[in-house]
Structures are given as C-alpha cells and as structure tokens.
C-alpha cells in the first residue's frame, strides 16, 4: 500500500476523477442531514464490497492493485463523487460489481478536496450504504444520511499532517508491528471513515452507539503503525489516544501482554533468524518469501493471517501472525540494544469519556 501525500491532487469534476465514459450504468443518490436537509460539498467514496478498499481509475481497480503498479499513484486516482448544493451526486459508467458507498464532509474546509487531500481535523460522518450490486441498469435512489450523533476524537503524537487514520466497525487481525496485515479482512471491509490527521488529531461527528476500531499509519523510512478499540455513546464525548509501534524514540518497542507468551516461547525455541523462521513456515506448508530486510519481512504477513504454525512437533499451534509479530518485537529489541538504546515499554491506548451536559433552560422571566 502506498500513501504518497506529496502527490495528492484535489480533483473536482462533474464525474469521478479520471473515469472515462463507457456507456455503463450510473449510480445517483443524495446525502442529507438527519433532519433531511441537503448537504453539499460532501465526498462520496465508492469501495469494493468484498475488500472494503477504495477503487482507483483508470480501470476501477482496488487501491491495493493500483499500489502494485509503480507507474501510478493510487492516492491521486481514488474514484469519488461530490455532492452539489442539493446534496446530489453521481458516479458515471460504473462497471459490474458489488460496492458500498461512504459519505463524509469536512465542514471547516474552504474548498472541496479529494478524499485523501489535506483536510481539517473535524469530519462529519454522513452515512454509508449496505453492499449492493451493479449490473446493466442505472441505480438512482441511493440515500445517505448520518447514523447517529456520537463524537469520537482520535489523537496520536505527530508533528505533521501526514498520518493516515481509518475508522471501522470491524476489528484489526494482527499487531501493528506487522504493518498493514491487521487492516486486511474485517477492518477494511467494515471501514466507515478516514482522514489525514492534522497534527495528529481528528474528531468524527455522527456516530451511533457502538464499538469502533481505529488504526493509524505514518509513512517513513521506518514507518509507524498503531491501533485501538473504543466504545462510543451518543450522549458522551469520547477520546482515544493511540500509541505508535515503531523504532522511533516515541514508539512502543515491547509487545502487548497478549503476545508476551508467544515471545517467551519463541525465545526458548531454536528459531533465531529470519531464514530459520521461513524454513519453519515452509516445513508446515506455509509459503513465505525470504525478505531482504526486516521491514520487508514485517510487510509480508498478510497472506499468513489466520494460519496455524507449531514451533516443534510437541508444541501447541500458534496463530502465524502472532508468531511473526513476536519475532518482530524480538528483532526490534535486539536492534535497539545494539544501538545502545533502551526499548520503550508497551502502553495501552488512553480512553477518556466525558458526558455531554444538557443545556440548562433559563428560568429568568425578566422580573
């Protein structure tokens, strides 16, 4: 996956950016507030219903497919539509497939911008559709509106506006040390909102009561990831502060408590090097390419999520992603100690919940 912030283009057109007309069906709809008022300048993104990934032009390929093509910038070519003053939007010439629509708006933006442009910190969540199929007939009645009134603020330590934040009702599947592996599956499939976080902060408005999962990514020569889970109630303001898993000075370098037993088992085993780990996986019919660097190793875990592996014939089965994450933490700790650095401990995300006080009606009658 590629997140090249410097190449983001704010493309606003009458149809999704860069999509050539091919006389295929159109998708039309409206975005309104809870009370039915039209909402203009909303961004509506169309995503693949199975993976949850946004689609890119040309070709309506998923973000992941576009990222594998070194000749294109997937961030710049995400397919999206924008509502007019009547809250109406259209996607033209949509190929057959199953999709979902997600709508949001940045109310403080001075102009309409592309989905991953540098927006402001407040995001109005304007609803999503269930998965639907496009065949050869126009769809003209898509209606999106906010699903709740809850507020969630997500914070992380950041000195720039380059952190990518995704919010979902589906849980991540792997530790943040394994790069985007945890984002695959339910997390992206049930994604509901996103933002590039100005100075490490974003507030989502319009959430119904429920459990939400937030994940962050910051591009770097040694990238950082983080994630956390939080409950949101409509009559409360909820804040979650996420921590980075990275070799940075402010990153977490130790595994979470749930991974400590696997780390201990791995330390006591004969598996000490990446090559030995690859050999172990291959001996149990789990193909894994030999990485050239530790960063490559950690970025290759997605196909292994959900697989089982044993450290020896007598050992209990371990989730492959947990084994890889444990190996990653051991390697990071050894690398830091070799540099004379003391690894930072694991820290749980900090959650703050504050009730929203009802406004007090004045009883002053002027007498």
pLDDT for 292: 67
pLDDT for 71: 86
Show the tokens assigned to 90.
């259209």
pLDDT for 149: 92
Nearest to 266 by CA among 225, 320, 306: 320
Residue 32 is given by DSSP the state: B
> Distance (Å, rounded) from C-alpha 157 to C-alpha 159?
7
> Distance (Å, rounded) from C-alpha 117 to C-alpha 53?
17
pLDDT for 309: 95
Show the tokens assigned to 278.
């690859």
Instruction: For 288-303, write each residue's pLDDT tens digit.
Output: 877 667 667 667 888 8
Q: 74-78, 153-157, 255-259: lowest mean pLDDT where?
A: 74-78
pLDDT for 155: 97
pLDDT at residue 326 above 60? yes
pLDDT at residue 15 above 60? no
| Cis peptide leading into residue 249 (ω within 30°) | no
E strands, 208-286, in order = 210-218, 224-232, 236-241
pLDDT band at 112 (very low <50, low <70, confident <90, very high): low
Residues shown for the chain? 367
Instruction: For 214-263, write each residue's pLDDT tens digit.
Output: 999 998 778 999 999 999 999 899 999 999 999 999 999 999 999 999 99
Nearest to 44 by CA among 143, 184, 121: 143
pLDDT for 20: 43
pLDDT band at 64 (very low <50, low <70, confident <90, very high): confident
Q: 151-160, 179-188, 283-292, 300-309: lowest mean pLDDT where?
A: 283-292
Q: 60-69, 77-86, 105-114: lowest mean pLDDT where?
A: 105-114
Q: How many helices (H) and strands (E) does the chain have?
A: 6, 20
Quick check: 113 and 10 in contact, CB under 8 A?
yes
Instruction: For 277-289, write each residue's pLDDT tens digit.
Output: 999 999 999 988 7
- According to DSSP, the β-strands at 80-82 and 97-105 are unpaired
Q: What is the mean pLDDT of the chain?
A: 88
pLDDT at residue 142 above 60? yes
pLDDT at residue 56 above 60? yes
Bridge partners, residue 144, by sequence: 31
> Distance (Å, rounded) from C-alpha 117 to C-alpha 11?
10
> Distance (Å, rounded) from C-alpha 141 to C-alpha 158?
41
Residue 257 is given by DSSP the state: G
pLDDT at residue 2 above 50? no
Quick check: 143 and 194 in contact, CB under 8 A?
no
Q: Is the pTM of this model over 0.85?
A: yes
Q: 3-12, 124-133, 182-191, 348-357: lowest mean pLDDT where?
A: 3-12
pLDDT at residue 11 above 60? no
> Distance (Å, rounded) from C-alpha 109 to C-alpha 271?
52
pLDDT for 253: 97
Q: Which residue ranges form the domains of the chain, and what is each CATH number?
A: 6-145 (2.60.40.10), 257-338 (no CATH)
- Residue with structure tokens 């992941």? 64
Instruction: For 167-176, write each residue's pLDDT tens digit.
Output: 999 999 999 9
Residue 348 is given by DSSP the state: P
Averaged pLDDT for residues 326-352: 96
pLDDT at residue 53 above 80? yes
pLDDT band at 367 (very low <50, low <70, confident <90, very high): very low
pLDDT for 222: 83
Using CA atoms, how far residue 366 sits from 194, 359, 363, in Å, is 48, 19, 9
Show the tokens assigned to 190.
């049930």
Nearest to 206 by CA among 30, 17, 35, 23: 35
pLDDT for 364: 42
pLDDT band at 313 (very low <50, low <70, confident <90, very high): confident
């Amino acid at each position: 996956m590629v997140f090249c912030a410097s190449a983001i283009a704010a493309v606003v057109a009458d149809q999704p950016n860069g999509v050539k007309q091919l006389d295929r069906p159109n998708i039309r709809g409206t975005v309104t507030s809870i009370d039915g008022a039209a909402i203009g300048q909303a961004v509506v993104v169309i995503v693949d219903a199975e993976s949850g990934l946004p689609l890119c032009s040309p070709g309506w390929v998923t973000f992941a497919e576009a990222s594998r093509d070194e000749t294109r910038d997937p961030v710049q070519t995400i397919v999206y539509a924008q509502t007019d003053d009547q809250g109406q939007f259209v996607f033209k010439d949509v190929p057959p497939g199953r999709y979902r629509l997600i709508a949001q708006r940045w109310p403080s933006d001075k102009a309409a911008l592309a989905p991953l442009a540098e927006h402001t910190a407040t995001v109005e969540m304007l609803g999503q559709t269930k998965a639907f199929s496009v065949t050869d007939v126009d769809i003209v009645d898509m209606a999106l509106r906010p699903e709740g009134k809850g507020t969630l603020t997500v914070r992380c330590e950041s000195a720039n506006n380059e952190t990518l934040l995704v919010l979902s009702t589906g849980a991540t599947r792997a530790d943040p040390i394994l790069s985007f592996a945890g984002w695959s599956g339910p997390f992206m499939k049930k994604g509901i909102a996103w933002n590039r976080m100005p100075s490490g902060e974003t507030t989502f408005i319009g959430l119904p009561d429920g459990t939400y999962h937030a994940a962050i990514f910051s591009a770097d020569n040694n990238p950082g990831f983080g994630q956390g889970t939080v409950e949101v109630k409509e009559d409360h303001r909820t804040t979650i502060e996420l921590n980075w898993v990275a070799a940075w000075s402010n990153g977490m370098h130790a595994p979470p408590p749930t991974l400590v037993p696997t780390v201990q088992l791995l330390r006591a085993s004969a598996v000490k090097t990446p090559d030995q780990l690859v050999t172990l996986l291959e001996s149990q019919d789990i193909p894994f390419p030999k990485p050239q660097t530790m960063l490559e190793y950690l970025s290759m875990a997605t196909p292994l999520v959900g697989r089982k592996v044993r450290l020896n014939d007598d050992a209990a089965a371990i989730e492959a992603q947990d084994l890889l994450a444990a190996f990653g933490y051991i390697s990071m700790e050894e690398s830091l100690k070799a540099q004379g650095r003391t690894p930072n401990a694991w820290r749980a995300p900090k959650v703050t919940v504050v009730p929203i006080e009802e406004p007090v009606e004045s009883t002053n009658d002027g007498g």
